[in-house]
């Protein structure tokens, strides 16, 4: 069991805990012997993602919208703000909630950390770089973001959250960390959230055409969720206060990624081209020099292995119609 600050068990409060990344992070922390108070309002998270942790030693769930203040009676050592409407489908359907999650909710989580003199981690995004004019993207790049475009509710909410986090660090001496997360995939993603991994896998498993926006030559890089969680874990125990990129630097076009999905699923699915959405980034690849140097971290899971795990999860999801009991 890991300890922090003497003989006390490390206690975490995590927003967005029932989400894709949040639930995997809960797994890691409980496995490490930590205590977790998990918060989620289920706007995009799922009770199924945390159902297996019910009754686990050190795990507590509370249904809560973190745009309202949070109270925690017992001492808190770490506050992790993962709550986010991260997929384009979600944040375009809920732009105001997305902005509130980056602004009001971030401040509420920072105030919780301040009240308990706890460490604070913000999960930010590669979308802070917008449609980048620098490639690959290093943390020193300030970005190319349309502040009034349709994606601005997400991009600017995260940029504001970063600025607010740094303000709390400078004004209140809060010990903060900021992770800029690049495309991450794996089990527990929402099948219909509109992002390229679940979209392609869903279409391939159903024998439908894979929808490619634009000419498919835009690039992305894909990091498996266990690698991302390892990066977050190392970052939260570090003394780095400025943003750190966490993602896989192996870049490929969307068309190349479609071929990987077709190969692993065995689907003979054709490609269907549609118009490119507004402000969609043309190139996306993280420079992870900082993470390699400061955290001694880099992705380990190959795309083929990660996709096999992800496809197996989605295959089971499509085959199963058994409801999962809600957390209480």
Measured CA distances, 175 to 168, 242, 291 (Å) = 9, 11, 18
Strand runs (DSSP E) across 145-297, as ranges? Answer: 176-181, 184-185, 210-213, 219-221, 223-224, 244-246, 251-253, 271-274
Give CA torsion, residues 155, 156, 162, 167, to 10 deg.
180
First to last CA, the chain: 27
Q: From the candidates 154, 168, 185, 224, give the one annotated as an active-site residue.
A: 154
Query: Known catalytic residue: 154?
Result: yes
Bridge partners for 123 per DSSP: 179
Structure tokens at 287: 């420079």
Give CA torsion, residues 233, 239, 244, 247, to 10 deg.
-20
**Beta carbons of 118 and 35 less than 8 angstroms apart:** no
Q: Which of 195-233 are b and which e, b meaning 16 or more Cβ less than 10 Å from the residue's Cβ?
A: bbbbbbbbbbbeeeebebbeebebbbbbbbbbbbbbbbb
Whether a cis peptide bond, with omega within 30° of 0, leads into 118 is no
Structure tokens at 178: 């900021």
Query: What residues act catalytically?
Result: 154
């Amino acid at each position: 069991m890991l300890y922090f600050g003497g003989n006390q068990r490390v206690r975490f409060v995590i927003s967005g805990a029932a989400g894709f990344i949040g639930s995997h992070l809960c797994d890691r922390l409980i496995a490490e012997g930590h205590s977790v108070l998990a918060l989620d309002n289920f706007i995009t998270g799922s009770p199924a993602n945390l159902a297996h942790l019910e009754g686990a030693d050190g795990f507590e769930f509370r249904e809560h919208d973190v745009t309202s203040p949070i109270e925690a009676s017992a001492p808190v050592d770490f506050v992790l703000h993962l709550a986010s409407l991260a997929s384009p489908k979600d944040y375009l359907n809920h732009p105001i909630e997305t902005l509130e999650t980056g602004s009001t909710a971030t401040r509420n989580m920072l105030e919780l950390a301040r009240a308990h003199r706890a460490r604070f981690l913000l999960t930010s995004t590669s979308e802070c770089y917008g449609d980048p004019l620098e490639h690959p993207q290093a943390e020193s790049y300030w970005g190319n973001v349309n502040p009034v475009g349709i994606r601005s509710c997400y991009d600017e909410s995260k940029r504001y959250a970063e600025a607010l986090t740094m303000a709390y660090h400078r004004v209140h001496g809060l010990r903060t960390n900021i992770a800029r997360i690049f495309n991450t995939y794996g089990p527990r993603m929402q099948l219909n959230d509109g992002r390229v991994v679940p979209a392609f896998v869903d279409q391939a498993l159903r024998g439908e055409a894979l929808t490619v926006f634009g000419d498919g030559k835009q690039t992305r890089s894909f990091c498996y969720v266990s690698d991302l969680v390892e990066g977050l874990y190392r970052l939260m125990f570090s003394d780095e206060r400025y943003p750190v990129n966490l993602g896989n630097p192996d870049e490929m076009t969307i068309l190349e990624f479609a071929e990987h999905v077709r190969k692993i699923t065995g689907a003979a699915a054709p490609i269907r081209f549609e118009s490119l959405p507004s402000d969609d980034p043309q190139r996306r690849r993280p420079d992870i020099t900082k993470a390699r140097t400061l955290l001694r971290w880099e992705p380990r899971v190959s795309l083929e292995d990660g996709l096999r795990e992800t496809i197996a999860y989605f295959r089971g999801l499509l085959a199963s119609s058994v409801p999962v009991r809600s957390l209480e």
